[in-house]
Amino acid sequence: MASQDITPVGRSSAKASLLYDPKFRGYIFQTITVLVLTGLIYWIVHNTVANLQRAHLASGFGFLDGRSGFDISSSPFLRYTSDSTYITALWVGILNTLTVAVAGIITATMIGFIIGIGRLSHNWLIRKICTVYVEVFRNIPPLLVIFFWYLGVLSVLPQARQSITLPFGTYLNNRGFFFPAPVFADGAWLAGVGLIAGIVGALLVRRWATKRQMATGQQFPVGITSLGLIIGLPLLALAIKGFPLSFDYPVLGSFNLKGGALIGPEFMSLFLALSFYTGSFIAEIVRAGIRGVGKGQTEAANALGLRAGPTTRLVVVPQAMRIIIPPLTSQYLNLTKNSSLAVAVGYPDLVAVGGTILNQTGRSIEVVAIWMVVYLSISVLTSIFMNWFNAKMALVER
């Protein structure tokens, strides 16, 4: 009967051809892939070397020590002139990329949290306004938003002579945003020390307050104390030294504003566009994160007698953060990568500076390699930091 018809499985598989062994097939397939790839790489290298020789182009990174010969419009951290080396120019570019990325991340996070919470509001009008904001900015290219600010808004501002006067001695015109520059006299370093001491003090107070609350159940106003320490200590330091700080106010001259500090329209348009664009994505992440916290959590908090404020602060937000952080990280990385759109408005970020060098020297391989190394390092560093932060926030289970 049926049971007698069954042939032993072991024998037939032992006879099976080697070709049907998945492991063996895997080896064959991988060997072929490696061979094809090696051939391709050899072919590419061969072609590249031939092309470089034909065009009499040298290779290697030695050119980086050469004189750059071009100007960079904005270099707030490094001293740079057209006599500086290419490597200095690249550093200026990297620092500019980081500046606009960090500034953009801060505002985009603020916009995103406000709009994301607004989308969950009980207030119909607020909800609709936030929805319109998200749906508009999510669905248009970031480059278009940059052009919108740069060509549509900032460059049609009045000329320097008819600058728009804003509070605190600031001015806005088509050359950018002018604001009073702080001038530090001797002894201002103590304020920096005060600031650091304030931050360290605030962290210590927080640690102590948590410990005390764990032991006694008594709460301590950490927020106000920290704010007092962080603002108060530098002020105190300045007072000790007799306020060695003055401001250089921009003054309206006949053709231009004199003095003060300037944020150029290139930086402003890039910064505003990245903030508004990424803010809409962060808003959706925040909304999803808050909705991802179960309703039972809010109900349990209410049952314990917590009011709306502490419920949000102590129960909902800490749990929502766990859902929010991983996608938030990738948005931060997206913003950093999108900052490369600076090249379209002439803000000297890494890609724009690299592009100039590429056009001047023709070292496309080296420049692209530098770009890739820098951006990949930024990505890896951000991921490591956010993973650490994520692990700190993660659910600690028994």
Partner 1 sequence: MDNNLSFVRTEMLQGQTPPLGERGIVRWIRTNLFATPVDSALTIFAILLLIWFLPGLIKWLFINAVWSGPDRSVCSTVGQGGIQPEGWSGACWAYVNANFNQFMYGPYPMDQHWRVNLVAILFVLLLVPLLIPKAPFKVANAIVFFFIFPIIAFFLLVGGWFGLSYVETANWGGLLVTLTLSFVGIAVSLPLGIVLALGRRSKMPIIKMLCVIFIETIRGIPLITVLFMASYMLPLFLPPGVTFDKFLRALIGVALFASAYMAEVVRGGLQAIPKGQYEGAASLGLSYWQGTGLIILPQALKLVIPGIVNTFIGLFKDTSLVTVISMFDLLGTVKQHFSDANWISPQTPISGLIFAGFVFWIFCFGMSRYSIFMEKRLDTGHKR
Give the Cα separation of 295 and 120 in Å (integer).
14
Other Cβ atoms closer than 10 A to 11:
9
* Lookup: tokens for 288: 């999803």
Considering the complex, state which of residue 121 and residue 210 has its C-beta at the smaller distance from partner 1. Answer: 121
Which pair of structure tokens corresponds to residue 139?
């669905």
Closest approach of partner 1 to the CB of residue 153, in Å: 7
Which tokens hold the place of 153? 């808004």
CA distances to 354, 358, 366, 376 from 369, rounded to whole Å, are 10, 12, 5, 10
List strand residue ranges (DSSP E) for the chain, in order.
164-166, 170-173, 176-179, 181-184, 245-248, 251-252, 257-258, 261-263
Nearest residue (CB) to partner 1, 225 versus 298 = 298
Q: Which is nearer to partner 1, 226 or 329 (CB)?
A: 329
The whole-angstrom separation of Cα 181 and Cα 299 is: 51
Give the residues lining the site for partner 1 (CB under 8 A). Answer: 22, 26, 29-30, 33-34, 37, 44, 47-48, 50-52, 54, 121-126, 129, 135-136, 138-144, 147-148, 151-153, 155-156, 337-338, 340-341, 343-344, 351, 355, 358, 364-365, 368, 371-372, 375-376, 379-380
Residues with Cβ < 8 Å from 224, sequence gap 6 or more? none
CB 134 within 8 A of CB 112: no
- Measured between its terminal Cα atoms, the distance across the chain in Å is 57
Please report how close the Cβ of residue 103 comes to partner 1 at its closest, in angstroms: 18
Name which of 6 and 215 has its Cβ closer to partner 1.
Answer: 6
Tell the smallest beta-carbon distance from residue 383 to partner 1 (Å). Answer: 9
DSSP state for residue 56 in the 8-state scheme: T
219 by DSSP, 3-state: which? coil
Strands 245-248 and 261-263: unpaired
User: Which residue type does 86 have?
Assistant: Y
Closest distance of CB 179 from partner 1, Å: 25
Structure tokens belonging to residue 263: 């944020």
Is the CB of 226 or the CB of 336 nearer to partner 1?
Answer: 336
Q: Shortest Cβ distance from residue 309 to partner 1 (Å)?
A: 11
Q: Between 46 and 211, name the residue whose CB sits nearer to partner 1.
A: 46
Smallest separation (angstroms) from partner 1 to the CB of 177? 19
Task: Tell me the C-alpha distance between 93 and 70, whole Å.
Answer: 13
Q: Which is nearer to partner 1, 84 or 269 (CB)?
A: 269
Query: Which lies closer to partner 1 via its Cβ, residue 136 or residue 203?
Result: 136
What's the CA gap between 190 and 245, in Å, rounded?
11
